[in-house]
Structure 1
């Protein structure tokens, strides 16, 4: 099947396009913090030549503990994302957890993210598709790559022409995720671009008791493997000081280390593309 590029605002994601990077903090904290990160990411994109989408969540609805920080909520979160877009020109993305969130998010963001835990929720997929925006659907930790054909089918049937699928690890016992790199070419066979979520792939769910653990040292090795087998985009959460982030700190890449990592991934992508299909 021919792989069809996805259009995200002015950016295109596909095998013949520059590497797309979806990056930003796990969760929105303040507008000033989001803008500071976004400005650093703009400089990185200019330096490396990648397409860039700014990502941050307005609500972490699936936190381990009831006491965990969730974010500023829908209205304030969308105000921050709109401000980031106007100040930097970056397309933005965030995740939705309920079908009623699709329309307001679609009015602000250029790419709608479907969380892995919710990727089988038909009403959520249909609502996202009907916004007319591109949709990035994360493969459930409990799904085989071939099962994502049904996600593509639901989104297509609801009118979405710009679909991305995202590999983010598969459950391997308790508190552990592993990546089967076969999932990247297998999902590309469905005719859509594939994103590799490098930071959530190194999560250790519940690994710190009341919070999720992770191993950020493995982010780049896994991202390299994903690029080598043909992913079209890298998803990578980042923060100026991950250990002080209120969410997913153990698996986020420090912001000052991200540009060099992306440069290496771009170089690897160019090498691999030279091999041909």
Structure 2
């Protein structure tokens, strides 16, 4: 079920209330042309399939392997473009924040504040996000179990916010790989929150000696189908018209023209489940 605080965000969209919801967009705001193209394309696909849709893009990438990696076009520019996509296509929007003082800065521009996995234990960040009154989506740390995410949920509730989502994004396996433990989906749902499967970051191969994170995008469909079968409430998929030239996470993003056929399969699977 989609909770009331999300149905309010989806009020401008026509969708099947029994469907999963989708969070999708490019990894980072590279340009106005990119975010508008992705927002337009994905919103049309989701409208056709009855999928409630949240546009996602990072206004800044703070967690990069190399100090020379692209981080964004500036906070104000990035946030303004995310807001423009939301207003143009009447979509809720989300982006990640990295420090407690970013919460109040980003909140006027976006509807859902996303907490990166590496920062899911940062008490001041969680509580600052909660205090904005926005929906807070916390990505499960690659080093944590689903059960232990209870403490992140408790911190947000302690700050007076009940609007919480949790995202599974894989667990560290060795030094340069991740695996998905699908038990975490029902385990995190026990905390009373909708649970999202991050189908792209869970396929990352981090810490490459080249300084650029690798990935296995050919398995995005596998991760997504298994998540729907396991009862995930939503899916998170980063997508780009041409991942090979993307300025961040190109190695694990889904090519934009592959999104519709995948979503068509997932909608059928959801109905079967």
Same fold (TM over 0.5): yes
The match for 1:193 is 194
Query: Secondary structure at 2:35's aligned position in 1?
Result: helix
The match for 1:7 is 5
* Farther off after superposition, 162-171 or 77-86: 77-86
Q: TM-score, normalised by structure 2?
A: 0.95
Is 1:116 aligned with 2:114?
Answer: no
Aligned-residue Cα RMSD (Å) equals 1.4
Equivalents in 2 of 1:89, 1:156: separation in Å? Answer: 29
The 3 A distance-change label for structure 1 pair 261 and 52 is same
The match for 2:19 is 18
Equivalents in 2 of 1:220, 1:160: separation in Å? Answer: 34
Is 1:62 aligned with 2:63?
Answer: yes
Equivalents in 1 of 2:207, 2:261: separation in Å? Answer: 30
Q: CA deviation at 1:47?
A: 1.4
Q: TM-score, normalised by structure 1?
A: 0.93
The match for 1:53 is 54
Structure 2 segments unaligned to the other structure (5+ residues): 12-16
Equivalents in 2 of 1:137, 1:217: separation in Å? Answer: 26
Q: Is the contact made by 1:207 and 1:214 (CA closer than 8 Å) also made in structure 2?
A: no
Query: Secondary structure at 1:108's aligned position in 2?
Result: coil
Is 1:41 aligned with 2:42?
Answer: yes
Q: CA deviation at 1:11?
A: 2.6
Equivalents in 2 of 1:251, 1:125: separation in Å? Answer: 27
Query: Secondary structure at 1:246's aligned position in 2?
Result: coil
The match for 1:170 is 171
Equivalents in 2 of 1:4, 1:32: separation in Å? Answer: 31
Q: CA deviation at 1:29?
A: 0.5
Equivalents in 1 of 2:140, 2:189: separation in Å? Answer: 13
Structure 1 segments unaligned to the other structure (5+ residues): 273-277
Equivalents in 2 of 1:73, 1:271: separation in Å? Answer: 44
Query: Secondary structure at 1:210's aligned position in 2?
Result: coil
